[in-house]
Amino acid sequence: MMYELYQRRLEFVMRMRLNFSQVVLDFVQSGKYSQIVEKQPGTNTHIKGKPYGRNDSLKVRLLRIVLADGEIEVLATSLLDSQKYVLEIFKELYFKRWKIETYYDELKNKLQTEDFSDHSNQSILQDFYSSLFVATSRP
d(CA 105, CA 92): 21
Query: How many other C-beta atoms can be found within 10 angstroms of the C-beta atom of residue 77?
Result: 19
pLDDT tens digit at each of 139 positions of the chain: 888 888 899 999 999 989 888 899 999 999 999 999 988 777 777 777 777 877 788 899 999 999 889 999 999 999 999 999 999 999 888 888 777 878 777 777 777 766 777 878 888 888 888 877 877 776 6
Query: Model's pTM, two decimal places?
Result: 0.70
pLDDT at residue 44, as a whole number: 73
Rounded Cα gap, residues 66 and 74, in angstroms:
9
Cα gap 48→60, rounded to integer Å: 23
pLDDT for residue 84: 95
Task: Using the Cα atoms of residue 58, residue 24, residue 101 and residue 79 in order, give the sign of their dihedral.
Answer: negative
Predicted local distance difference test score (pLDDT) of residue 33: 97
The three state secondary structure string of 73-105 is: EEEEECCCCCCCCCHHHHHHHHHHCHHHHHHHH
Ranges of each domain in the chain = 2-81, 101-136
Strands of 19-85 (E only): list them: 34-39, 58-66, 72-77
The pLDDT, as a whole number, for residue 76 is 95
Residue pair 127/116 in contact (Cβ under 8 Å)? The answer is: yes
pLDDT of residue 43: 73
